[in-house]
Amino acid sequence: MGCAFCEIVSGETQADVVLETDDFVAFLDRRPVIKGHVLLVPREHVATLPDLPAPLRDPFLALAQRLASAVVDGLGAQGSFVAVNNVVSQSVPHLHLHVVPRTRGDGLRGFFWPRHKYAAAEPEEYAARLRAALADQ
């Protein structure tokens, strides 16, 4: 109860979804480290990576690979940062994998990254570009 990501998965809360499968949903982070920052979550409420059921491990990583490619192909990033926090620094207690587009000189250093805001229509634009890149894979 009260899980922000479960509310997105169920459709109770709006999100800029870039990918959906029977088991997972990927959507834009509302406070991105870099615009195009995507979160991948299991539909089932799972708190941390060690809690992820074994049958979902490979599909979870396969989708992470696709998203890492999509930020390059769809957003023109040079690469990506992919990470999972477990408990510490996990702002929502629902497993989520971050895929952050990266380019040289983007200003990110270490793990103390400022968050940014999207302009009014930007989330839809970024989500559409990522969906198009995923469709081309």
Residue 90's pLDDT is: 81
Instruction: Give the chain's largest Cα–Cα span.
Output: 41
Q: Which residue has the higher pLDDT, 88 or 38?
A: 38
CB atoms within 10 A of CB 16: 21
SS3 36: coil
Residue 107's pLDDT is: 80
Domains, the chain: 4-106+116-135 (3.30.428.10)
Distance CA 52, CA 68 (A): 20
pLDDT digits (tens, 9 = 90+) for 82-117: 999 988 888 899 999 999 999 998 888 766 566 778
Residue 68's pLDDT is: 98
pLDDT digits (tens, 9 = 90+) for 49-69: 999 999 999 999 999 999 999
